[in-house]
Amino acid sequence: MKKSDPAPERAILVGAEWESRNGVVAPDLDELSALAESAGAMTVARVTQRRERPDPSTFVGQGKVQEIAALVREEEADLVIFDDELTPAQQRNLQEQVGQRVLDRTALILDIFAQRARTKEAKLQVEMAQLHYLMPHLMGQGTQLSRLGGGIGTRGPGETRLETDRRRIRHRLAILSRELQEVRRGRELQRRPRQQWARPVLALVGYTNAGKSTLFRRLTGAEVDVENKLFCTLDPTIRLLTLPNHQEVFLSDTVGFIRKLPHHLVESFRATLEEAVQADLLIHVLDASHPQAETQRAAVLQVLRELKADGKPMVTVANKVDRVENEFTIARLLAGYAPHAAISALSGKNLEQLLTVVMEALAAQVERSAFFLPFPANRALALLHEKGRILKEEYRPDGVYVEAEIDRVWAGKIRKLIDE
């Protein structure tokens, strides 16, 4: 944390252990603590409870609530953060009984997004997601939220503070939604030329903190924020990258994915994740040194499924191998996931090898395809000749019939061109 940052807020973390069909689900308070740190809070105490189901009015049991309240006084805590989602009623009751701000995981994640949003679109998305989240939490509680003062959970993107009056929220949501539409139209216009250059797009995906931005910067020489803070990159960044065979591709750095990201959040950040959806090849970066690397991978693959991007070709990368002593850990992480590479984005180890693997993955997508290009077919035909190996070319009354061996990515792009 920088010297100029205000003193961190003091947070107490609360997690519940659930008995589910698959056994006991332990809360990951280490991750919650890292998230809290990203938001500017330091963890002063952790509380866990094992329960069969949440208490409808206070989530944890009465005894635990008293314990938390005592800890809040003892540790002079500013806020209490729950690892799960709280209902508006639970949050309200807890807040009354522990006498300090109570946040759930969603509110914490939203707060981090709010601080990290940089582009206009990201800011609009975050504010909308925050207001949608806030609405039900305001039910019948009048000015309670406004009495809470500033701090984590009350901040909006940029300079603004979160609006806490329901009528004004509705009004504000309508305005934001219009603005967002306009910004999106603008972005569509910007995207077009890139598609026309028709170079393959590679997207770095992966759990937050896996090392995507470090790798992005290493490969492209671009200055993106690399910080040991979760969610550092909220807006995707795109750079041109030349592979060893001189093929040019676009590489995009994306926002980190995270476990238990509420569904409506995935929806609202769809546009932010769109680079991954639009990509021709995904590079999935794993933090091989993280004890939960497998769980993190599963979380990322789940989000990709929700975005319907799970069918895309993917290169799996075990990163941070400089921090892994046992080779077997890396081998196990990569087993069954081909093509793959084991690298250190920080030291630069095996980056050449990664580029070779990426090159091969792109080349492996060569397929034999047939195209029919209605007249005038100049551009598509020129591209087919440039990028593929022509096997057959027949001029017919209304267009050209071509059979060619061509990279799947290019085949797709040419088909798009034909359809336009």
Binding site residues, ligand GDP, CB under 6 A = 206, 208-214, 226-228, 232-233, 256, 319-320, 322-323, 344-346
Tokens 């993106």, residue located? 224
CA 186 to chain centre: 22
Write out the two tokens for 220.
């492209």
Output the smallest distance, CB 2 to Mg ion, in A. Answer: 18
Return the number of the residue (204 or 384) whose C-beta is nearest Mg ion: 204
**Cβ proximity of 272 and 255 under 8 Å:** yes
Output the smallest distance, CB 372 to ligand GDP, in A. Answer: 43
Phi then psi dihedrals of residue 141, to 5 deg: -110, 15
Return the number of the residue (92 or 212) whose C-beta is nearest ligand GDP: 212
Q: Is 49 an interacting residue with respect to Mg ion (CB under 5 A)?
A: no
Q: Is 285 an interacting residue with respect to Mg ion (CB under 5 A)?
A: no
Which residue is at the shortest CB distance from ligand GDP?
A: 211
The SS3 assignment for 24 reads strand
Phi then psi dihedrals of residue 245, to 5 deg: -90, 15
Write out the two tokens for 418.
């034909």
- Partner from Mg ion, ligand GDP, none contacting 360, C-beta within 5 to 8 A by type: none
Output the smallest distance, CB 288 to ligand GDP, in A. Answer: 9
Count Cβ atoms below 10 Å from residue 136 Cβ, excluding itself.
12
Return the number of the residue (91 or 213) whose C-beta is nearest ligand GDP: 213
- Partner from Mg ion, ligand GDP, none contacting 399, C-beta within 5 to 8 A by type: none
Q: Is 232 an interacting residue with respect to Mg ion (CB under 5 A)?
A: yes
**Cβ proximity of 371 and 388 under 8 Å:** no
Output the smallest distance, CB 312 to ligand GDP, in A. Answer: 19
- In 3D space, the residue among 129, 128, 33 whose CA is nearest the CA of residue 81 turns out to be 33
Percentages (nearest 5) of helix, strand, coil residues in the chain: 45, 25, 30
Q: Please, which of residues 186-225 interact with Mg ion by CB under 5 A? A: 212-213
Return the number of the residue (212 or 340) whose C-beta is nearest Mg ion: 212
Q: Is 233 an interacting residue with respect to Mg ion (CB under 5 A)?
A: yes
Return the number of the residue (96 or 294) whose C-beta is nearest ligand GDP: 294
Phi then psi dihedrals of residue 251, to 5 deg: -115, 130
Spatial separation of the C-alpha atoms in residues 281 and 205, rounded to whole Å: 10
Q: Is 377 an interacting residue with respect to Mg ion (CB under 5 A)?
A: no
SS (H, E, C) 152-180: CCCECCCCCECCCCHHHHHHHHHHHHHHH
Return the number of the residue (254 or 268) whose C-beta is nearest Mg ion: 254
- Partner from Mg ion, ligand GDP, none contacting 153, C-beta within 5 to 8 A by type: none
Output the smallest distance, CB 253 to ligand GDP, in A. Answer: 7
Output the smallest distance, CB 202 to ligand GDP, in A. Answer: 15
Return the number of the residue (216 or 371) whose C-beta is nearest Mg ion: 216
**Cβ proximity of 371 and 418 under 8 Å:** yes
Return the number of the residue (39 or 71) whose C-beta is nearest ligand GDP: 39
Segment near Mg ion (CB under 5 A); pick from 7-15, 233-241, 264-272, 367-375: 233-241
Phi then psi dihedrals of residue 403, to 5 deg: -115, 135
Q: Please, which of residues 345-364 interact with Mg ion by CB under 5 A? A: none
Output the smallest distance, CB 347 to Mg ion, in A. Answer: 18
- Beta carbons within 8 Å of 171's beta carbon, 6+ residues apart: none
Q: Strand 201-206: give its sheet, edge to edge.
A: 237-242, 248-253, 201-206, 281-287, 314-319, 340-342
Instruction: Sort strands 314-319 and 340-342 into parallel, antiparallel or unpaired.
Output: parallel
Return the number of the residue (58 or 316) whose C-beta is nearest ligand GDP: 316
CA atoms within 13 Å, Cβ hemisphere of 175: 8
Output the smallest distance, CB 225 to ligand GDP, in A. Answer: 7
Output the smallest distance, CB 273 to ligand GDP, in A. Answer: 14
- Partner from Mg ion, ligand GDP, none contacting 322, C-beta within 5 to 8 A by type: ligand GDP
Contacting residues toward Mg ion, per CB under 5 A: 212-213, 232-233
